[in-house]
């Protein structure tokens, strides 16, 4: 495995980060777990024709798309593409230790979907900041099990299948998408060009996949996925067959990159999710019109990409947007150790280092206890909840007490409720919905920065 410090040092040199910042990042990232790599993202503005200023990162977005929350039902479905599920699957593959507390409980959560259109045909697509490809399942697709055996289409749990072909034909030379997601899901199919619209914007002749074979854990509502990560994470390969090695990989411009390149939007997007995972907003080119924002306290951190690479022979690479907080604060205690955290709206809980998770859960009254069968902490449903905040760029982002105790997640044996602070083992760690419900998160691709604006929602 390539040393994470070497990768980061190369990326830092490429974007010209100051020596002091370089040393801080090297210290924070030097202990990457097996199969994990870190690198600084490179800003889009360095090669963009845009006259772009960082101040635009807090302007009102001209293009806003409502998110539709699709809650996972514990009895029927889960979210295998959450950061917690991906890391759990990775840990099981590499056979080490450190993620043993990221169990099936963490996979239950919320997926967020947007209404998008392929060639004018409206579809519901899951938004995913952890991947780059945009695809929809095609009408006559094959649903298969893990071993490749054919199953009825409904087993894969898709909503409406796309009924047509590519608007502008297939790529030349022929290419196909192959991607294996966090818990083993596989999607493959030919790539071609169609006009794709989202948030009142249309990327003309956008390269997409019409999936014809899937092994998929669907929610019976969405038809595919809209990836919001970088071109380097696209999964296009030459040919139409089973050649998915790196030598056949062909990088292309994903949807958001195309929207920027066609001059339709500034190079940033932002996400605001509502409490109780009921809904949210995706804003393209700025920030959405949500209440309770304190723009004077905007935190700005380097955008780091955490890559999870478990199966290079099948081109499995799943990556996440990551930041390095200053630390955590609870009651009268503060920890200042700098450690990378994935920012993921698809993960319900916050996953912290064991010692910090233990200490914060002990601050509940009565103290929360760890239940191994859930891989989570539980306390009385009417417990006293401590004041907890994560420190970003010197600013304390308070997590509302409402978001620190899930009164709807009750252990039937003990009658106790789950807390939002979970044990992340040896990492990487996660800032999930419990954090994001208290902040607006801005993915400033132009500057390669993550920006956080406190959202007072007590």
Q: Which residues are catalytic?
A: 128, 344
What gap in Å lies between CA 361 and CA 369, rounded to an integer? Answer: 7
**CB neighbours of residue 98 within 10 Å:** 17
Strand partners, 40: 304
Burial of 423 (0-12, 13-18, 19+ CB in 10 A): buried
3-state secondary structure (DSSP) of residue 88? helix
DSSP notation for 407-436 = EEEE-TTT--EEESEEE-TTS-EEE-HHHH
Instruction: Kindly give the pairing relationship between strand 429-431 and strand 236-238.
Output: unpaired
Contact between residue 321 and residue 450 where contact means Cβ atoms under 8 Å apart: yes
The H or E element containing residue 365 is: none
What gap in Å lies between CA 322 and CA 306, rounded to an integer? Answer: 6
Burial string for 10-34 (b: 16+ CB within 10 Å, else e) reads ebbeeeebeeeeeeebeebbeebbe
Give counts: helices (H), strands (E), the chain. 7, 30
Instruction: Kindly give the pairing relationship between strand 388-392 and strand 395-399.
Output: antiparallel
Contact between residue 318 and residue 307 where contact means Cβ atoms under 8 Å apart: yes
* Phi-psi map region of 121: left, alpha, beta (phi>0 left; psi -120 to 50 alpha): beta
Task: Give the relative orientation of helices 4-15 and 19-29 as an angle to the nearest 10 degrees.
Answer: 160
Closest CA to 349 of 318, 380, 377, 389: 377
Closest CA to 432 of 394, 391, 402, 404: 404
């Amino acid at each position: 495995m390539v040393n994470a410090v070497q990768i980061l040092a190369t990326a830092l040199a490429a974007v010209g980060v100051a020596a002091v910042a370089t040393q801080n990042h090297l210290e924070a990232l030097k202990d990457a777990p097996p199969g994990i790599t870190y690198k600084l993202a490179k800003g889009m503005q360095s090669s963009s024709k845009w006259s772009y200023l960082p101040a635009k990162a807090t302007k009102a977005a001209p293009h806003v798309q409502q998110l539709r929350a699709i809650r996972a039902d514990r009895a029927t479905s889960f979210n295998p593409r959450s950061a917690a599920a991906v890391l759990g699957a990775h840990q099981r593959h590499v056979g080490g230790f450190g993620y043993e507390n990221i169990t099936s409980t963490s996979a239950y959560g919320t997926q967020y979907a947007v209404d998008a259109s392929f060639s004018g045909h409206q579809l519901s697509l899951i938004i995913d900041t952890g991947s780059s490809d945009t695809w929809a399942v095609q009408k006559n697709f094959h649903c298969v099990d893990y071993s490749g055996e054919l199953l009825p289409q409904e087993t894969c749990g898709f909503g409406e299948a796309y009924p047509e072909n590519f608007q502008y034909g297939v790529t030349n030379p022929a290419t196909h998408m192959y991607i294996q997601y966090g818990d083993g899901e596989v999607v493959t199919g030919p790539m071609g060009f169609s006009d794709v619209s989202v948030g009142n914007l249309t990327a003309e002749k956008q390269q997409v996949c019409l999936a014809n074979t899937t092994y998929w854990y669907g929610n019976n509502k969405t038809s595919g996925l809209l990836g919001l990560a970088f071109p380097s994470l696209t999964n296009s390969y030459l040919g139409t067959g089973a050649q998915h090695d790196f030598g056949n990989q062909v990088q292309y411009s994903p949807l958001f990159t195309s929207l920027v390149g066609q001059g339709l939007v500034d190079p940033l997007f932002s996400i605001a999710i509502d409490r109780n995972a009921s809904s949210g907003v995706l804003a393209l080119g700025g920030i959405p019109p949500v209440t309770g924002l304190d723009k004077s306290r905007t935190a700005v951190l380097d955008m780091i990409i955490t890559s999870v690479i478990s199966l290079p022979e099948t081109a499995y690479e799943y990556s996440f947007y990551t930041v390095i907080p200053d630390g955590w604060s609870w009651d009268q205690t503060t920890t200042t150790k700098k450690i990378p955290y994935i920012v993921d709206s698809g993960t319900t809980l916050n996953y912290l280092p064991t010692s910090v998770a233990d200490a914060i859960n002990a601050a509940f009254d009565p103290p929360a206890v760890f239940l191994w069968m859930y891989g989570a902490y539980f306390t009385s449903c009417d417990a006293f909840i401590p004041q907890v905040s994560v420190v970003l760029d010197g600013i304390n982002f308070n997590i509302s007490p409402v978001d620190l105790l899930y009164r709807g997640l009750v252990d039937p044996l003990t009658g106790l409720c789950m807390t939002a602070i979970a044990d992340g083992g040896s990492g990487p760690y996660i800032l999930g919905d419990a954090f994001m419900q208290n902040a607006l998160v801005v993915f400033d691709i132009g500057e390669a920065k993550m920006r956080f604006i406190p959202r007072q929602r007590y």
